[in-house]
Structure 1
């Protein structure tokens, strides 16, 4: 049995992981929905990692799943506790010394968004929520998530990512083909340039844990199974620094 450590994106309450947690438990695994101090102006990247490590406690057989802005926190956790696998789920892969607020310009995100504009037709008006994040999420799930609004402090956005290189942990990147915040072609390039690996892909938008929790759970469980080697066999190779 693996324990999936679910690290949220910016300004997110951990409740948005609930459908995925239910699916993982049905498949015989455990999960920790990490709450980050995202509204605390005194909390930066180090405090985000502290919060995650504290909530992990003494659990073992860990697979860290970092979503969106959580991509800056997930690798820090892997430096602090023994982790079997890091899964970057449509996440922001940082470079050493880069602050999260610098990531957008450094990766060319604005240009990618301009190139992707118009591919999705007119904005949906089905439930009045942001179509960039929730275009493929059932309205009732969007409404449930919106009951738990969180703000995002700017403090961690200004802090350089402190690691000198990617942690020595097996890493997978899972992008979402329908992601409107991080278009697929853009993320394929960023992942290749920054992690030196080819990302895996899944259907769905940025909030795939809400729109396709069963499919996401199947993919994560398959990662856990594949990453558990026979005695003496090497684990999956981690990205190049």
Structure 2
């Protein structure tokens, strides 16, 4: 009985997943395009921050082991505040933010990466690099939160009520799959480029900016917010 019940559950999951994929691919291909863009940003930008920031703050910057760990703890708190500030801003400025301009948010995130890379290249002061890195990551996470809120609102608006849960589950599953790949990629890249960490960060910014610019038209064609 347990085996039959387990088989039945897996069959339901498989059916729901295939229906959601079909809906995203065939009925609402714009959601599929947005999904691929988010995967690309997760792969090249989010993963760099997740892997690179703790490594650079605790291992690369000349802050001392104890001080580096303490400052990284502070940085984590600031990053969390950035995400919270972005979520609040998305609600406060909801009437001024349009889905067609959401591509500009990705461009802004990518641009915020470059000061981190250039500061590592130009300045030897560990604390100065830490301040620039923390400030830029705060902005990236705040802007990312605004973008996430906009995308969730768009997906919910474009998806029938009976499909919302299933479609969002697929989107989270697919986007989260890009994260471990990106983490592994940047783990290897930072190891290869030891002593030239600024190159990895500038690479991340360049690729993310390229994705943002090339996909900007997709966002401009999205249906406007319904009042």
Q: Same fold (TM over 0.5)?
A: no
Question: Which is helix-richer, 1 or 2?
Answer: 2
Name the structure, 1 or 2, with higher relative contact order (CA <8 Å, separation 6+).
Answer: 2
The structure whose residues are more often strand, as a share, is: 1
Bigger-Rg structure (1/2)? 2
Tell me which interval the TM-score lies in, with the shorter structure as reference length: under 0.3
